[in-house]
Structure 1
Amino acid sequence: MKPHVVVYKKLPEHLVQRLQAEFDLTLFDRITDDNRADFIAALATAHGMIGASLPITNAMLEAAPQLKIVSTISVGVDNFDLDYFRQRGLMLAHTPGVLTEATADTIFALILASARRVVELAEYVKAGRWKGSIGEAQFGVNVHGKTLGLIGMGRIGSAVARRAHHGFGMPILYHNRRPDPEAERELGARYVSKEDLLAQADFVCVMLPLTPQTERMFGAPEFALMKRSAIFINASRGRIVDEAALIAALQDKTIHGAGLDVFEVEPLPLQSPLLKLPNVVALPHIGSATHETRLAMAELAVTNLIAGLRGEPVAHLAV
């Protein structure tokens, strides 16, 4: 009898066929209020789960007594209670590495778009307001040669630092759990305290996972330490930031602007003040959203799942 796998996000057909060769599948393109009960019922006989973009609660997992592995199509694992996985001896696989470059591209796009007011001025042109040579009211700020501050220097932070150093001649400050000798040697990066980074950086980029320790770690005190000319970039997780404090800092011109790919609540509510601020570039959580990267993530997640259910080593375990 084949192991049973519950798929809770739409997969490319060739990956479905790959899974069907070894497992009995129950397929959901996504989980909604209309099919949530069916999803929970399917877990009763599940040995494995694969999907993304859904908080997997302990109650859901309690409904799956035969479960061995969950394979998430993401690098972040904040949709799961890791302590529960450890206590129960469940495997949680994820997809680090394959999304690094695409996410770093997104972060640098936010840096450029925020500094040069790309979105705002593109709309200015489309609205027919471009009547002649632009003046100071439409000027942006330089990126080349400005100081980049990275909070976190993992795979994605290092990829952003490479772009900044080699492409834009930016001095790099970083704050991390530990120093990164390679980044210091190859990119001239300098390890500093969080407070010194906030005070000196022209662009402050957050590159941290969401954990109990990082949740809401950026609030009014942190924004007050930043330069009034500084731009804040977040493409990690929205709940790392106290969004109300960020909005106040932007409205009061405590900081110059923000480029955001993530928010406390997603999708971002239409009534959010962030959508009314001209000094904000807001994207719909597109960090890894390219055809190539999302396919690579799905393929890796499938590989992780198959290895786990075969009893083979899983290359990318979060737990």
Structure 2
Amino acid sequence: MRLRCAVLDDYQGVATTLADWSSLAPQVEVVGFPEHVAGEAELVAALADFDIVVTLRERVSFPASVLAALPRLKLLIASGMRNSVIDYAAAREHGVTVCGTESAGTPPVELTWALLLGLARGIVPESANLAAGGPWQTTVGADLHGARLGLLGLGRIGGRVAAVGLAFGMDVVAWSGNLTDERAAEVGATRLATKEELLATSDFVSVHLALGERSRGLIGAAELALMKPTAYLVNTSRSAIVDQAALLAALREGRIAGAGVDVFDTEPLPAADPARSTPRLLATPHLGYVTEANYRTYYGQAVEDIRAYLAGAPVRRLT
């Protein structure tokens, strides 16, 4: 009997065209899910007849309750080599092998700058006005050269964002709980002693931290109140690092100049979510990782993971 493989959240319908799945055809039937499956009961029902699941980033959670309800599932593949919404202990208990894929750090860097530049130069409203025959020039752009870029996190992605900021002639500063002067100097940034100092003095603040107990809710109402009314906040990392309600309130009340956000507490974003109509918010539907090269890596290596598993020698195992 052929095994069945579900490819979740294939929104663009490209999972089977950006990788060669033909080598699996004799043994595996591949089924794409172009719509997000929301809700635990709905997920269990949708995946009941599948032996393999390929899940995109952290869109879908696989807690112990879901894994226990899917006795046929034997291989779970996550894009990326880290996934916080899979219960690895439960996977082991139920005999489910979990594997990952590589994931490039450059796409989220590029999207960070797309959002930051879009905010600074009013790209969306000016383009909309032009297309609608509206007024000519309604915004006055914010200068990057000479402005301060504050980075919360200076790891693989934050370091690359810093390099672009320096190329624009910005004063780049950084903070994280374990940041050293040596790491800051390595990328040409200045380490600040506190995140409060960074928030209060930066013209642009960009979040590049992993989500954990120390970073969850790191930026709330009190922290947003420290920012200049002319400052912008960009978050392409994890939504839970920034208090969403506090951010939307700050934007509605004009307490900061704007925000660029690619991540949300609930994804896909519900139609009635207030983020869809909040002023001064430039929002994108979690596009940070969505590029052709990254997708070729995700799905190409997913095929490799399946072949290796079928051969009895799983690769890129996550535990």
Which TM-score applies when normalising by structure 2?
Answer: 0.82
Q: Assess, with a 3 A threshold, how the Cα gap between structure 1 residues 176 and 95 changes in structure 2: closer, same or farther.
A: farther
Matches of 2:205 and 2:73, distance apart in 1:
41
Q: Which residue of 2 aligns with 1:125?
A: 130
Written as runs of structure 1 = structure 2, the 5 A alignment for 1:1-319 is: 4=3, 6-9=5-8, 10=10, 11-13=15-17, 14-20=19-25, 23-25=27-29, 27-30=31-34, 32=37, 36=43, 39-43=46-50, 46=51, 48-52=52-56, 53-65=59-71, 69-74=75-80, 77-82=83-88, 84-85=90-91, 91-98=97-104, 100-131=105-136, 134=137, 138-165=139-166, 167-179=167-179, 183-192=183-192, 193-308=194-309, 310-312=311-313, 314-315=315-316, 317-319=317-319
Amino acid at match of 1:119: V
Amino acid at match of 2:297: A
Matches of 2:198 and 2:318, distance apart in 1:
29
Q: The residue matched to 1:159 in structure 2 has which SS?
A: helix
Question: Displacement, 1:75?
Answer: 5.7
* More deviation, 222-231/260-269: 260-269
Q: Assess, with a 3 A threshold, how the Cα gap between structure 1 residues 196 and 19 changes in structure 2: closer, same or farther.
A: farther
Question: Displacement, 1:106?
Answer: 0.4
> Equivalent pairs: percent with the same residue?
31
Matches of 1:305 and 1:212, distance apart in 2:
33
Amino acid at match of 1:174: A
Matches of 2:42 and 2:7, distance apart in 1:
11
Matches of 2:99 and 2:202, distance apart in 1:
35
Question: Displacement, 1:109?
Answer: 0.5
Say how many residue pairs are matched.
307
Matches of 1:272 and 1:29, distance apart in 2:
24
Greater helix share, 1 or 2? 1
Question: Displacement, 1:301?
Answer: 3.2
Measured on the aligned residues, the alpha-carbon RMSD in Å equals 3.1
Please say if residues 103 and 294 of structure 2, whose CA atoms lie closer than 8 Å, have aligned partners that are also in contact.
Answer: no
Gap runs ≥5 in structure 2: none
Which TM-score applies when normalising by structure 1?
Answer: 0.82
Amino acid at match of 1:6: C
Q: The residue matched to 1:249 in structure 2 has which SS?
A: helix
Question: Displacement, 1:20?
Answer: 3.4
Amino acid at match of 2:188: G
| 1:96-135 Cα deviation digits (max 9, x unpaired) | 442x11111100011100111111111122222235xx4x
